[in-house]
């Protein structure tokens, strides 16, 4: 009997082990359609994930996920400040390409929204902080605060995110005007152009791309931080540009959108017409799709349950985007829970989609009554405990297995600078720098000088920059013998080597560059001239004039030159020969405005803005829930015996009347939508609360009119200040009749 029982126990244990060892969730994709020639696969899903918002890949190619389950658990956004977020590591223990385990790296986080593997550790955002931790045995150690004011508390839609390591060795963010890097063991932070809203990406050259809700693609015509050296000049013609006027989207069913009631938002079939929540663009750099897909941009449209494809055209002084198709998208779905919120190039050349898979994707502070009703009717607020990572691969992909970067030597890393996959090139560059592999500097220089691949040359240049191994003579050789894209980077890096000892060689070099007559080179040559003109204005001013007079009406070129003139802009402006010969050109007009701003002490805003500010509706929502919701209800429907409803109330639609009520209070009875509310209570005003400012009142109005009426409105703090002095007959709360009389 004992033997038989033991035998059964062993057999049952083996069976149980075989069945439960790998926790792979099978998700049907019948409701998804992808472009011909591509495969779409779910590689991780619930219960391994819950509300993923961002991913990154470590040196072994494993996926690390930032999860934000506290976001929009219900229509009121309850639990946002709870420490329910986490960062987990997905593992594929049976090596079949599907994640079967999820390992917690860090939990008890409040709304984590971005991460990137850099410097052998993990940089991650948990507002208001930006943190860096080393990694030991898949555990965080040695946590360092990189930035204590990375983001303000509040709406995740309007807080910095992205953490994109670019080719120039700096880490950039969306919804932020700062960039970061670590050098010699110390973290550096400096201003950069303010970019986008959610998600950021870069192309092979190093230009940055981003977007916001209603504009599917924005970007810079120039390399980051090249045109902003002059703190009193804002280069509006070349940075933060709308790359396409076509904002059309093509969902395959009538989903629920926030302002669906407004004219033109939906078509005759109630299907979304233009983007309203575009986010997370990705320049595909994987090298595994067909050639026609190289440096295409893919864009998340979560409100339309789709992923869009756009084509880029590079002109040298601009970037133009065009939708790949009309009446068609790269990926569509009829699953209203499909919410693509982030895209990433993968280590093996695939594209990865972070699907938050949530019913409500828009923040409650912005939600219209129309969407609340739609969401409730469809029970979208019940789709909350999900999350998926999808992989897009070309059907003819031949990707090799990813090497473990930690196990590679210096020479092996140098060879990877020429890989077809941009993710691998980026990683190889970064590893050579942070591991300080200086014994292969000559090999890196060989790649920079003689590689047939222009992208590998650029990566090699920035390996040398990161290792402090560049020189003036080396860069002049690069500029002389390389194509315009590599030479442009050489010109950018050459600015750090400006000195009187190099003046004559620089003059020869710059005149050679002018002879090439390539607009891309002219931009970066022109941008660097101010540094040299400071050393010898008489010798380098003619070079500037040759560049400008050849293309006098080019706005991007004017931005480039003025952006680099910080040390000599006043001298140039006071030079009547220069100003007369370029009269009526963009250069003169922009320089005049720059000097005016300089005299007035008015800097480019990125140099005075220390942190992002909270959106008014988000601030107003917080105050509403603290002060007003206990009587009017979180959904603005009122509470019997306490307060009338706010939803579609005529007292909400009239912002001045609403301000008077908030300031001075309201005594019943009161009518709302024709119904009498004879509540035997008076709503007290906030005017006697010294802690409530005019801005607070304005924020509450911004939120309330957005949440409880179909026409969001604002009221200026100046007008609110004046309304403080408008008193009722009694000097206490207003009556409805008194408010109505004031409207006349």
Query: pLDDT tens digit string along 435-452?
Result: 999 999 999 999 999 999
For the ranges 103-112, 393-402, 481-490, the lowest mean pLDDT is seen at 393-402
- Rounded to whole angstroms, the Cα distance separating 646 from 629 reads 10
Q: How far apart are CA 75 and CA 363, in angstroms?
A: 9
Cβ atoms within 10 Å, residue 37: 11
Q: Nearest CA to 276 among 392, 368, 369? A: 368
Take residue 3 and report the two structure tokens written for it: 């033997």
In this predicted structure, the answer to whether residue 300 has a pLDDT above a threshold of 90 is: yes
CB under 8 Å, gap of 24 or more: what pairs does 585-588 form?
585/548, 585/552, 585/553, 585/558, 586/237, 586/552, 586/553, 586/554, 586/555, 586/558, 587/548, 587/552, 587/557, 587/558, 587/561, 587/562
Which has the minimum average pLDDT: 380-394, 627-641, 686-700, 730-744? 627-641
Do the beta carbons of residue 655 and residue 713 sit within 8 Å? yes
Strand, helix or coil at 394?
Answer: strand
Q: Residue 641 — very low, low, confident or very high, per pLDDT cuts 50/70/90?
A: low
User: Can you spell out the DSSP letters for 263-280?
Assistant: TTTB-TTS-B-B-SS-EE
* Closest residue by Cα to residue 93 from 17, 191, 165: 17
Return d(Cα 359, Cα 337) in angstroms, integer: 5
- Cβ count near 105 (within 10 Å): 18
Please count the helices (runs of H) and the strands (runs of E) in the chain: 22, 31
Whole-number pLDDT of residue 438: 96
**pLDDT for the residue numbered 280:** 97
Instruction: Report the chain's mean pLDDT, rounded to a whole number.
Output: 91
Which residues are paired to 276 by β-bridges?
none
Name beta bridge partners: 121: 118, 134
Q: Residue 13 gets which letter from DSSP?
A: H
Q: Is 739 exposed, middle or buried (0-12, 13-18, 19+ CB in 10 A)?
A: buried
Q: How far is residue 364's CA from residue 625's CA, in Å, rounded to a whole number?
A: 11
Give pLDDT, residue 19: 40
Give dist(CA 211, CA 440) in Å, integer. 39
Q: How high is the pLDDT of residue 7?
A: 42
| Range of lowest pLDDT (200-209, 331-340, 600-609, 696-705) | 696-705
558, 317 contact by CB (below 8 A)? no
CATH fold of 32-394 reads Neuraminidase (2.120.10)
Backbone φ, ψ for residue 424 (5° rounding) = -70, -40
> In the CATH scheme, what is the homologous superfamily, with its name and number, of domain 616-743?
Cytochrome c-like domain (1.10.760.10)
How far is it, in rounded angstroms, from Cα 477 to Cα 443?
A: 16
Are 84 and 100 in contact, with CB atoms under 8 Å apart? no
Output the six-digit token pair for 402. Answer: 């990813």
Alpha carbon distance 67, 50 (integer Å): 6
- Nearest residue to 430 (alpha-carbon basis) of 466, 457, 474, 472: 466
Mean pLDDT, range 464-478, rounded to an integer: 98
Tell me how far CA of residue 168 lies from CA of 164, 179, 202, 461, in angstroms: 11, 11, 11, 9
Task: Say which DSSP state 383 is in.
Answer: -
Residue 734: pLDDT band by 50, 70, 90 thresholds? confident
**What are 274's strand-pairing partners?**
248
Cβ atoms of 200 and 210 within 8 Å: the answer is yes
- Coil, helix or strand at residue 680: coil
Return d(Cα 177, Cα 193) in angstroms, integer: 5
Residue 29's alpha-carbon distances to 52, 283, 369, 388, 638, in angstroms, are: 19, 25, 32, 12, 42
Q: 500, 501, 529, 504: which is closest to 514 by C-alpha? A: 529
Band (pLDDT 50/70/90 cuts) for residue 681 is low
Q: For residues 177-187, give the mean pLDDT.
A: 95
Residue 514: which pLDDT band, with cuts at 50, 70 and 90?
very high
- Is the pLDDT reported for residue 12 higher than 60? no
The whole-number pLDDT of residue 283 equals 98
- Considering the chain, what percentage of its residues have pLDDT values greater than 70? 95
Confidence of residue 677 (pLDDT cuts 50, 70, 90): confident
pLDDT at residue number 74: 87
Say which residue, 494 or 617, is predicted with more confidence.
Answer: 494
């Amino acid at each position: 009997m004992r033997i038989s029982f033991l035998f059964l126990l062993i057999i049952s244990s083996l069976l149980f082990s075989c069945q439960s060892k790998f926790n792979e969730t099978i998700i049907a994709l019948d409701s998804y359609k992808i472009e011909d020639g591509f495969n779409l696969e779910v590689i991780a899903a619930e219960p391994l994930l819950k509300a993923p918002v961002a991913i990154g890949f470590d040196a072994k190619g494993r996926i690390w996920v930032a999860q934000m389950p506290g976001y929009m658990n219900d229509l009121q956004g309850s639990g946002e400040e709870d420490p329910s977020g986490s960062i987990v590591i997905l593992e594929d223990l049976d090596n079949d390409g599907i994640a079967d385990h999820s390992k917690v790296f860090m939990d008890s986080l409040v709304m984590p929204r971005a991460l990137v593997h850099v410097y052998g550790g993990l940089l991650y955002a948990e507002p208001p902080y930006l943190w860096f931790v080393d990694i030991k045995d898949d555990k965080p150690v040695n946590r360092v605060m990189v930035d204590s004011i990375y983001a303000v508390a509040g709406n995740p839609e309007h807080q910095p995110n992205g953490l994109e390591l670019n080719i120039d060795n700096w880490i950039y963010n969306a919804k932020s005007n700062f960039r970061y890097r670590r050098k010699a063991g110390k973290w550096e932070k400096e201003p950069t152009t303010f970019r986008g809203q959610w998600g950021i990406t870069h192309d092979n050259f190093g230009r940055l791309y981003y977007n916001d809700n209603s504009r599917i693609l924005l970007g810079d015509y120039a390399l980051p931080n090249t045109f902003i050296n002059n703190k009193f000049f804002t280069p509006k013609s070349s940075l933060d540009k709308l790359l396409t006027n076509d904002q059309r989207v093509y969902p395959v069913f009538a989903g629920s959108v926030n302002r669906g009631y407004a004219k033109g938002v939906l078509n005759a079939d109630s299907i979304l017409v233009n983007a309203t929540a575009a986010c997370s663009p990705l320049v595909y750099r994987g090298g595994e799709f067909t050639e026609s897909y190289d440096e295409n941009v893919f864009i998340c449209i979560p409100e339309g349950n789709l992923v869009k494809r756009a084509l880029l055209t590079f002109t040298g002084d601009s970037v133009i985007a065009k939708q790949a198709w009309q009446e068609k998208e790269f990926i569509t779905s009829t699953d209203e829970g499909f919410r693509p919120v982030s895209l990433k190039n993968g280590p093996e050349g695939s594209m990865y989609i972070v699907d938050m898979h949530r019913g409500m994707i828009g923040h409650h502070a912005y939600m219209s009554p129309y969407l609340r009703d739609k969401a409730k009717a469809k029970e979208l607020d019940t789709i909350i405990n999900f999350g998926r990572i999808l992989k897009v691969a070309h059907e003819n992909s031949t990707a090799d297995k990813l090497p473990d970067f930690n196990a590679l030597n210096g020479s092996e890393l140098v060879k990877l600078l020429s890989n077809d996959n941009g993710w691998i090139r980026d990683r190889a560059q970064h590893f050579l720098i942070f591991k300080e592999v200086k014994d292969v500097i000559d090999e890196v220089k060989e790649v920079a000088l003689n590689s047939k691949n222009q992208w590998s040359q650029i990566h090699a240049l920035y390996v040398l920059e990161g290792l402090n191994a560049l020189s003036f003579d080396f860069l002049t050789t690069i500029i002389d013998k390389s194509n315009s894209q590599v030479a442009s980077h050489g010109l950018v890096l050459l600015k750090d080597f400006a000195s009187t000892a190099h003046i004559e060689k620089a003059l020869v070099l710059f005149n050679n560059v002018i002879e090439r007559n390539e607009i891309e080179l002219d931009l970066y040559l022109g941008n660097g001239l101010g540094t040299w003109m400071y050393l010898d204005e008489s010798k380098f001013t003619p070079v500037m004039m040759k560049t400008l007079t050849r293309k006098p009406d080019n706005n991007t070129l004017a931005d480039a030159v003025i952006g680099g003139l910080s040390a000599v802009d006043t001298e140039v402006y006071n030079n009547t020969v220069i100003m007369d010969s370029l009269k009526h050109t963009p250069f003169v007009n922009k320089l005049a405005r720059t000097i005016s701003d300089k005299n007035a002490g008015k800097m480019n805003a990125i140099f005075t803005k220390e942190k992002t500010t909270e959106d008014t509706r988000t601030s107003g929502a917080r105050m509403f829930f603290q002060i007003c919701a206990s009587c009017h209800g979180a959904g603005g429907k009122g509470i019997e015996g306490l307060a009338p409803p706010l939803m579609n109330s005529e007292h909400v639609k009239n912002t001045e009347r609403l301000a008077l009520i908030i300031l001075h209070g309201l005594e019943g009875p009161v009518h709302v939508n024709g119904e009498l509310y004879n509540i035997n209570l008076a709503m007290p005003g906030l005017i006697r609360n010294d802690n409530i400012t005019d801005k607070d009142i304005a924020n509450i109005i911004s939120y309330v009119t957005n949440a409880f009426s179909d026409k969001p409105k604002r009221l200026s703090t100046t007008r609110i200040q004046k309304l403080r002095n408008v008193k009722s007959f009694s000097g206490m709360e207003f009556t409805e009749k008194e408010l109505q009389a004031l409207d006349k």
